[in-house]
Amino acid sequence: MSGRLGVDIGGTFTDVVRLDLATGALLSAKVATDYADPVGGIVAGKTKVSTEREAESLHHATTLATNAILEGKLPKGALLTTKGFRDVLDIGRIQRPVEGIYDFNIDNPEPLIPRALRLEVAERIDAKGEVVAPLDEDAVRAVARELASQNVKSVAICCLFGFVNSAHERRIAEIVAAELPDAEISLSSAVSPEIREFERASTTVIDALLKPILLPYVSRLEERLGGDGVGQVRIMLASGGLTAPTLAGGQPAAMVNSGPAAGVLAAANLGRQMGLDDLVTIDMGGTSLDIGVVEGGRPVHKYEGRIAGYPLRLPMIDVAAVAAGGGSIAFVDQVGYIQVARESAGSDPGPACYGRGGTRPTITDADLILDRLGESFGGEGGFRLDREAAAAAMRTEIAEPLEIGVDDAAAGVLDIIQARMAKAISANTLEKGLDVRGLPLVVYGGAGPTHGAELAESMGMSRLVVPYLAGNFSAVGLLLCPLRWDISRMILRRIDELEAIDLAFQIGALDQEARTTLDAGGADTADLTTRWIAHMRYVGQSYDLPVDLGEPWQGELQPDVLDELIVRFHDLHQRRFAYRSEAETVELVQLRVSVIGTERDYPLPSGTQQGDARQGETRAVYFTAHGGRLDASVWDRRTLPSDWQVDGPAVVEGEGSSALIPPGWRAETDEWRNLVMTRTGEA
């Protein structure tokens, strides 16, 4: 019973890691995701990492929620809303996506609920929460009957100003529940109790539509794993914490993008152990590059994101996805320029070198052609990469049309994708007011380590960390995550109208509610810490800043807490926006409370790796910054002892990735078996 399992179900692979709680030993496995029976896939994957059937616990992230939205495989749902406002979901904020500026075929997505199922009821509450028009209950009943006849599986309820006064939403829910006893219901006042009706409705609708998928999934998961010797099942949320399966299933919008969040959390945790408090993370897989930022030892959070173009307003670890991965497809455009498409070959057919029928050249093909990847890249249980197929695709699609050599074609493809990735990473950190230069880059995902050092160099970064289990890093993060539940309340009042005691009362109530929720969900609520933040702004501003005084909630507040909040807000505003305006009135927009359990430290492997590092053949590897091939020593990652070092050009292969050490860089292994690279000089 001393093992803890982390299972991250991705679109292509299911990653399983096992932490021996006694020794700190980490084992990992990758199995193909079983779409027909994902839970069965977990049970199968579990046997791959250990012969021990029992496990203390299993921590789980899944892309099931994300994929259901991306692929549009959602159940039939309805939206009930205030009369006059059913089109809010369609109109949105009006602004088309930035990709559509010069391409009139690119749109914001159509609403997840069609207009015919967005129904209005007469009722109106004003900005102060006062009822301007009473709820027409007969109308609600009639609408609910209509929905029942249409076999609707779930209902989202979003009334204007429902976050100020939720009485109408709750009454509508009662009537709907009576008429449609089997339908799932989500209330905007519970899912996202914040101002701005479009973002709130969008989040509520996503939540409602995911429930009929995720609720049965988590209960099946808990039941089958319980029967298979697993003590406790915990589900990852995008906020960076775990919760009980029934709670997660009851608010499934919070499960969207939880896997990538676990990766950033693991990087932050590892960084703290290594004494690196600020860093940038990149996770490069087959289809996307996920970028995260860690500041002061904690992942940067955001409070609104998007999934498939739909706003999702919940607290989440900030992960920005860019369409650039190993499977990204290269082509020559009509005027003879090499381009890399947003489109990915995915896993099926995958890059040409997978030998599954892909004929269009990808980044992975370019890496293989230029010997940046070995042919046996997949490792044990993996597969041999087909060099001929890669070269043939590159020749037909790029080299021949341009009348150049295959190597030159592949080199051009890499230059372009790396420049695009570097721009995306730099731009993303700039938006947070950070300069990437001087920060370390933590690199993981199957394709990340191959490009990490070159990317870092082009961005002016000089330190790189490739964790030991870089290919399964998000699953490792799952092992460490604390229990967590987030809850918030809209305040929207000038801070000079508030008293410390009001604030304390509100925080106390939210804290109690969060703990009660966790408790009711069957989670162990001992050893929980409560943190709170206040979202603040100058009156009239349309955006706010999260102010954290840093002190955990202990049941009371100092009398001068409001003054302290104001000072912190001015300081934070100065830091983020380069000015402060002390003459202006400050408004407290939102209070947010998180109850958080204990995060486990990144495991230090017991004992050191014995024996000599195994060196393979030297091979001529292409390095982008050098612009040509260099003889590089090739090493087997699994055999590297903990005080090993090598100067580039070199390649370290194994554990699901191939890490390139360019000339001018030195790589060392540390006590966590990380590969730490430092730039030592000009190449």
Task: Compute the least distance from the CB of residue 581 to other proteins, in Å.
Answer: 7
Task: Compute the least distance from the CB of residue 431 to other proteins, in Å.
Answer: 6
Write out the E strands in 445-528: 463-466, 484-494
CA-CA distances (angstroms) from residue 186 to 25, 162, 414?
42, 13, 46
Nearer to other proteins by Cβ, of 104 and 181: the residue is 104
Share of the chain residues as helix, strand and coil, in percent rounded to the nearest 5 = 35, 25, 40
Nearer to other proteins by Cβ, of 132 and 178: the residue is 132
Q: Output the DSSP codes for 78-122.
A: EEEEETT-TTHHHHTT-PPPGGGSS-TT--PPPPSS-GGGEEEES
Query: One-letter amino acid identity for 129?
Result: G
Task: Compute the least distance from the CB of residue 339 to other proteins, in Å.
Answer: 7
Nearer to other proteins by Cβ, of 22 and 578: the residue is 578
Task: Compute the least distance from the CB of residue 650 to other proteins, in Å.
Answer: 25
Half-sphere exposure of 537 (CA within 13 A, CB side): 12
Q: Output the DSSP codes for 565-625.
A: HHHHHHHHHHHHHS---TTSPEEEEEEEEEEE-PPPPPPPPSS---SPPPB---EEEEETT
Residue listed under structure tokens 């498409």: 341
Task: Compute the least distance from the CB of residue 179 to other proteins, in Å.
Answer: 20
Per-residue burial over 504-516, b = 16 or more CB atoms within 10 Å of its CB, e = otherwise: bebbbebbeebbe
Q: Which DSSP helix (H) or strand (E) runs through 305?
A: strand 305-307
Nearer to other proteins by Cβ, of 35 and 337: the residue is 337
Closest listed residue to residue 484, CA positions, set 327, 680, 298: 298
Task: Compute the least distance from the CB of residue 665 to other proteins, in Å.
Answer: 17
Task: Compute the least distance from the CB of residue 192 to other proteins, in Å.
Answer: 12
Closest listed residue to residue 20, CA positions, set 46, 45, 2: 2
Asked if residues 48 and 13 have their Cβ atoms less than 8 Å apart, the reply is no
Task: Compute the least distance from the CB of residue 161 to other proteins, in Å.
Answer: 6
Nearer to other proteins by Cβ, of 91 and 178: the residue is 91
Q: Which DSSP helix (H) or strand (E) runs through 195?
A: none
Question: H helices then E strands: how many in the chain?
Answer: 17, 35
Distance of CA 534 to the CA centre of its chain: 24
Task: Compute the least distance from the CB of residue 426 to other proteins, in Å.
Answer: 6
Nearer to other proteins by Cβ, of 333 and 617: the residue is 333
Task: Compute the least distance from the CB of residue 360 to other proteins, in Å.
Answer: 18
Nearer to other proteins by Cβ, of 39 and 589: the residue is 589
Nearer to other proteins by Cβ, of 499 and 584: the residue is 584
* Cis peptide bond N-terminal to 649, omega within 30: yes
Beta bridge partners of 242: 236, 483
Nearer to other proteins by Cβ, of 174 and 431: the residue is 431
Q: Which two tokens stand for residue 376?
A: 């046996």
Nearer to other proteins by Cβ, of 53 and 93: the residue is 93
Nearer to other proteins by Cβ, of 53 and 576: the residue is 576
Nearer to other proteins by Cβ, of 275 and 540: the residue is 540
Asked if residues 157 and 173 have their Cβ atoms less than 8 Å apart, the reply is yes
Nearer to other proteins by Cβ, of 102 and 555: the residue is 102
Measure the CA–CA gap between 508 and 545, rounded to whole angstroms.
22
Asked if residues 600 and 664 have their Cβ atoms less than 8 Å apart, the reply is no
Task: Compute the least distance from the CB of residue 135 to other proteins, in Å.
Answer: 17
Catalog residues that contact other proteins under the rule CB under 8 A.
83-88, 90-96, 98, 101-105, 107-108, 110, 114-116, 126-127, 132, 160-161, 195-198, 333-339, 402-405, 408-409, 411-412, 415-416, 419-420, 422-423, 426-427, 430-431, 433, 492, 540-543, 576-579, 581
Task: Compute the least distance from the CB of residue 525 to other proteins, in Å.
Answer: 34
Nearer to other proteins by Cβ, of 167 and 402: the residue is 402
Which residues make Cβ contacts (< 8 Å) with residue 656, sequence separation at least 6?
A: 30, 379, 382, 446, 469, 470, 471, 472
Task: Compute the least distance from the CB of residue 334 to other proteins, in Å.
Answer: 6
Nearer to other proteins by Cβ, of 17 and 411: the residue is 411
Task: Compute the least distance from the CB of residue 546 to other proteins, in Å.
Answer: 16
Q: Which two tokens stand for residue 30?
A: 């990758």
Residue listed under structure tokens 């341009």: 402
* Paired sense of beta strands 184-187 and 154-158, if any: parallel
Task: Compute the least distance from the CB of residue 100 to other proteins, in Å.
Answer: 9
Beta bridge partners of 282: 291, 443
Measure the CA–CA gap between 134 and 116, rounded to whole angstroms.
24
Question: How many Å is the Cα radius of gyration of the chain?
Answer: 26
Measure the CA–CA gap between 202 and 212, rounded to whole angstroms.
17
